């Protein structure tokens, strides 16, 4: 939410906001699309809608994130932190990539990560589904792994989009008092 408020007071005149339910409206042209990052079907549907409706995308901020104490899986059977914080964004970004790459003025992708990545390591065979390695890890560690995945994704995306005039960044907003801390 803090990232979203910052966007609303910066020099951006048209915002596409994807969210599960609530909407902040501060007098700007704001288009809202429903998106549940914990559902790959929802991500695909949202990307399709955006591709059909929007002429161009200049900036994609993959900001949404959860930290929950509940051991849960997404509807696709993925560990909930990895599924929501990384894989949902991963799929959304890839489905919008060619549209962003076609932007004559270039485009920017910002993945919002966290300093918690420093405490994590990743095992792709183990960390995606509950019932394997992720089941043994604490919620905070699952969150940290997803934040490390944000960074690794950004690095690889940056390499792959060099020829497309897309700049990729991983940003850590610092510590901000938001709903996400309710679960710590």
Positions marked active-site: 143
Asked if residue 93 binds ligand NAP (CB under 6 A), the reply is no
Nearest CA to 97 out of 64, 142, 57, 144 is that of: 57
Asked if residue 139 binds ligand NAP (CB under 6 A), the reply is no
Site string for ligand NAP, 18-47 (x = CB under 6 A): -xxxx------------xxxx---------
| Choice between 94 and 172, CB closer to ligand NAP | 172
First to last CA, the chain: 17
Asked if residue 173 binds ligand NAP (CB under 6 A), the reply is yes
Q: Which two tokens stand for residue 139?
A: 């919620």
Angle separating helix axes 40-53 and 88-101, nearest 10 degrees = 20
| Chain residue at closest Cβ approach to ligand NAP | 65
Selected binder of ligand NAP within 60, 84, 127, 133 (CB under 6 A): 84
User: What is the Cα–Cα distance from 62 to 36, expressed in whole angstroms?
Assistant: 13
């Amino acid at each position: 939410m803090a990232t979203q408020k910052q966007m609303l007071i910066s020099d951006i005149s048209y915002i596409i906001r994807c969210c599960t339910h609530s909407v902040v409206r501060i007098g700007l042209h704001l288009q809202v699309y429903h998106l549940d990052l914990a559902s790959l079907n929802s991500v695909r549907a949202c990307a399709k809608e955006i591709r059909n409706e929007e002429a161009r995308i200049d900036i994609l901020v993959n900001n949404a994130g959860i930290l929950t104490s509940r051991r849960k899986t997404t509807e696709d059977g993925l560990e909930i932190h990895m599924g929501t914080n990384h894989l949902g964004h991963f799929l959304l970004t890839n489905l919008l990539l060619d549209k962003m790459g076609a932007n004559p003025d270039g485009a920017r992708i910002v993945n919002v990560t966290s300093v918690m990545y420093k405490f994590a390591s990743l095992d792709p065979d183990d960390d995606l589904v509950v019932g394997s390695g992720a089941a043994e890890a604490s919620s905070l560690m699952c969150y940290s792994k997803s934040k490390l995945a944000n960074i690794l994704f950004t690095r690889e995306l940056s390499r792959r989009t060099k020829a497309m005039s897309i700049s990729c960044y991983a940003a850590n907003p610092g510590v901000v008092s938001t709903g996400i801390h309710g679960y710590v």
